[in-house]
Amino acid sequence: MSRKIALLPFIAWIGTANAALAHAHLVSSDPANLTKAPPSALRLTFSEGIEPALSGVTVTGPANMTLPTGTPSLAKGDDKVLIVPVAQQPGAGTYTVNWHAFAKDGHTTHGSYVFTVAP
């Protein structure tokens, strides 16, 4: 009986670790790093399905200018890929994308990444 009680904290930890891994994390982004062509849309791929109406991005560029974006949507047939139209073509410079994603499991995650448009 004492062996079973000793295993309870370990079992609880395993359950917590699995739950934490279930959140939607950013797997890849397009554009990534350096691009020569200004993007007309951002493509963010997550580890889990997301709800586009409760997810989004803010893009800031040179001189902290905020780049206008359109309404986020999912890629056709893939609830893990969020597509965000870029309303104004970014010029040369470095841009920071701050994103937040509401996963279909009910959890929110957020983060950021940087890409550069070459002159």
Q: What are the domain boundaries of the chain?
A: 24-117
Q: Select the CATH number that applies to the domain covering 24-117 from these four: 1.20.140.10, 2.30.30.240, 3.30.1330.20, 2.60.40.1220.
A: 2.60.40.1220
Q: What is the pLDDT of residues 15-31, one digit of tens each?
A: 444 444 568 999 999 99
Question: What is d(CA 20, CA 26) in angstroms, rounded to the nearest whole number?
Answer: 14
Q: Is the pLDDT of residue 65 over 90?
A: yes
* Of 82, 53, 80, 58, the residue nearest 69 (C-alpha): 58
Question: What is d(CA 53, CA 72) in angstroms, rounded to the nearest whole number?
Answer: 7
Question: What is d(CA 23, CA 30) in angstroms, rounded to the nearest whole number?
Answer: 21
Q: What is the pLDDT of residues 91-118, one digit of tens each?
A: 999 999 999 999 999 999 999 999 999 9
